[in-house]
Amino acid sequence: MASWEFLGGFIKNTMWATLDSLPVVKQMKKGFEKTVEDMDIELDEVHKSIAEEMRAKYNTTVNSLTYKRQSENLLENKKEKV
């Protein structure tokens, strides 16, 4: 399973790097990444709000509501490259 995750990550990273070499697409990619980053923040807040309400109302946690932000990984990769 780890091999497939590695392969998926490799392909994704290669495709993102390739988009940076195309001038017009590079600008669109930057806009897309910023939009995804903003959406990640909002989704994280929505998931936290739902989890808190479930905990308060039903005295339980719902593990499937744990939101894993994706933009952190993208930003970390950018910082390492810079």
Question: What's the pLDDT tens digit per position in 11-26?
Answer: 998 998 898 888 888 8
pTM of structure: 0.49
Give 70's contacts (C-beta < 8 A, 6+ positions apart): 36, 40
Yes or no: say if 71 and 40 are a contact pair by the CB < 8 Å rule: yes
Report the distance separating Cα 1 and Cα 76, nearest Å.
24
43-60 tens-digit pLDDT: 888 888 888 888 888 887
Yes or no: say if 60 and 54 are a contact pair by the CB < 8 Å rule: yes
Q: Which two tokens stand for residue 15?
A: 């495709």
